[in-house]
Amino acid sequence: MRLSQMHLKTLRETPAEAEVASHILLVRTGMIRKLVSGVYGFMPLGWRSIRKIEEIVREEMDAKGGQEIHMSAVQPAELWLESGRWYAYGPELWRLKDRNGRDFCLGPTHEEIFTDIVRNDISSYRQLPLNLYQIQTKYRDEARPRFGLMRSREFIMKDSYSFDKDFEGLDKSYNDMYDAYSRIYTRCGLNFRPVEADTGAIGGSNSHEFTALAEVGESEIAYCERCDMAATVERADVKDDPADSSQMLPMEEVYTPNTKTIEEVADFLGLDKKQTIKALLFVKYDELGEEDGYVAAFVRGDRELNMIKLVNALGLPEHAVAFADEEKMAAATGCVGGFTGPTGLHDCTIVVDSELVGMKNLCAGACKKDYHIKNVNYGRDYKGDIVRDIKTLKEGDPCPVCGAPVKHTRGIEVGQIFKLGTKYSEPMGAYYKDENQEDKVIVMGCYGIGITRTLAAIVEQHHDDSGIIWPVSVAPYHVIITLIAPDDTVQAAAAEKIYSRLTEAGIEVLLDDRRERPGVKFKDADLLGIPVRITVGRGAIDGSVEYKLRRETEKNDLSIEDAIQAAIQIVEKEKKGM
């Protein structure tokens, strides 16, 4: 491709709304183009890289026996009502009506559609296992789209679904996908980590998130350096402190004026925060969006509540639980803002962190303004409607597996795999007949890769101040020939020779034949991040060109022949990304 003919518009300036490197660079290189908030199109270079990522994904899916199909993005509401997700998915589900008022959504994922296919087509154990996948545009009406392709409302995803006879089969399918994902992200040049994850709106029993490590990532992960524990902070178990064997002391109401926070009350009474109970107050919403009762959650004063664990404990989707209006809640339940404890509450669901059960003589709000109660004990003074680990694993807390202090890091979720089990096949009636002609439920898994988000993650991990540094496997082109003086016949002939020789060898080449100053061409070559640059300038008359890799600072003067060979060699070696 000749740059003079290419549809390319690079930007010198950083776009105002772009905050992270991948967003800035994908816009500045002209690879992506914003249409409206959270909706992007792809220009020639961007689309080439997207297709390379897709090809890697296809190869690895096919290698595990996956079969590619392509379903509609438009999905009828009926299927989502059958699975129960029309409500559970919440406001992120992009809903629409046709001219006759029938409800549809733009699919954020396709469990219902694939389950529907299989329940219609599969009747015998002989047809299982089966793995179907697609690469397709998905929609999620994000409240706050941001970071370019990282959190967008329209995105490209690979989603696959496995169908097995039993849970043993699912384990194998899941492990196959785990392997395939590890190969895919390795081939894309990502530094990634598979971590245990919450199953969220997809559901099921087990899940791993594949996280590309990056400071700007929205996923917070906890990991252990001594053992191999690694989980999203939302999912990570927390070890309860050992139970306290002290004697229970009698409850004692104490005057604690203006001590609304845990810090204030602990300071005022000279207590450690570990000797206090923290209260968090919530309201629940029903399927119609009406208020549907209150929740008071209690954790030890030094702990943080984990919202995902709380909604899971309540068996509700995340969007059905929100912080309560304290005054309204006070009238209904007897709570008192800043002075709420578990002993004076009524008419609300009380969720108690499991650790509190073994703690003795803690200080809690008295549900009375300016008062706390000392020596509050679980069992004797209060009980939970639900008792569960609802706290957050913080950096430095003991590892839930081995006890060593855990570390935190951040990353971009580029894929997630789920053991769905029978979560969809059971309610939607996807059965097969086994060897004895008995009806059995199909056991499912589902597996997603954010293709567009993977592109952003690659740029996030592969760039410097001058631009992108593409790994060869996903680079829009492998080599850029920077022709310094297009009007110089010797230089032009040398550049053409290199261009045609490389092209014949199957190398993807950009020839910068624009009538621009050399400085502009070098800047653009660095910005675009093409892995190999061959500069054809004055040395061409002696048969010499400059050879440089984008990822290295070193430049070498080589003969034209040597430069061609060096480029072919490195591209052949690295284009598979393994």
Residues that bind Zn ion in the complex, under the rule CB under 5 A: 224, 226-227, 229, 399, 401-402, 404
User: Residue 172's CB: how many other CB atoms inside 10 A?
Assistant: 13
How far apart are alpha carbons 338 and 539 in whole angstroms?
A: 77
Q: Which residue has the tokens 């290189």?
A: 29
Tally of helices (H runs) and strands (E runs) in the chain? 13, 31
Task: Give SS3 for 461.
Answer: helix
Which lies closer to Zn ion via its Cβ, residue 322 or residue 404? 404
CB of 197 to Zn ion, least distance (A): 18
CB of 405 to Zn ion, least distance (A): 9
Alpha helices in 233-325 (DSSP H): 262-269, 307-314
CB of 403 to Zn ion, least distance (A): 7
CB of 409 to Zn ion, least distance (A): 15
Closest CA to 374 of 246, 244, 253: 253
CB of 399 to Zn ion, least distance (A): 3
How far apart are alpha carbons 275 and 183 in whole angstroms?
A: 48
Closest CA to 372 of 265, 503, 219, 481: 265
The answer to whether 157 and 51 have CB atoms below 8 angstroms apart is: no
Which lies closer to Zn ion via its Cβ, residue 227 or residue 243? 227
CB of 223 to Zn ion, least distance (A): 8
In degrees rounded to 5, what are phi and psi of residue 223? Answer: -145, 165
CB of 228 to Zn ion, least distance (A): 8
- 64 token code pair: 């595990």
The answer to whether 192 and 382 have CB atoms below 8 angstroms apart is: no
CB of 225 to Zn ion, least distance (A): 8
Query: Which residues face 67 on adjacent strands?
Result: 132
Which lies closer to Zn ion via its Cβ, residue 243 or residue 404? 404
Which lies closer to Zn ion via its Cβ, residue 389 or residue 524? 389
How far apart are alpha carbons 488 and 528 in whole angstroms?
A: 25
Which lies closer to Zn ion via its Cβ, residue 243 or residue 402? 402
Which lies closer to Zn ion via its Cβ, residue 401 or residue 570? 401
Which lies closer to Zn ion via its Cβ, residue 1 or residue 229? 229
CB of 239 to Zn ion, least distance (A): 10
CB of 310 to Zn ion, least distance (A): 25
Per DSSP (E only), the strands in 488-554 are 509-512, 532-536, 544-549
Residue type, position 49, single letter: S
Closest CA to 346 of 322, 308, 310, 382: 382
Which lies closer to Zn ion via its Cβ, residue 226 or residue 555? 226
How far apart are alpha carbons 155 and 140 in whole angstroms?
A: 8
Which lies closer to Zn ion via its Cβ, residue 224 or residue 527? 224
Which lies closer to Zn ion via its Cβ, residue 232 or residue 276? 232
How far apart are alpha carbons 254 and 276 in whole angstroms?
A: 13
SS (H, E, C) 445-494: EEEEEEHHHHHHHHHHHCEECCEECCCHHHCCCCEEEEECCCCCHHHHHH
Distances (CA, A) of 520 to 449, 525, 551: 37, 9, 19
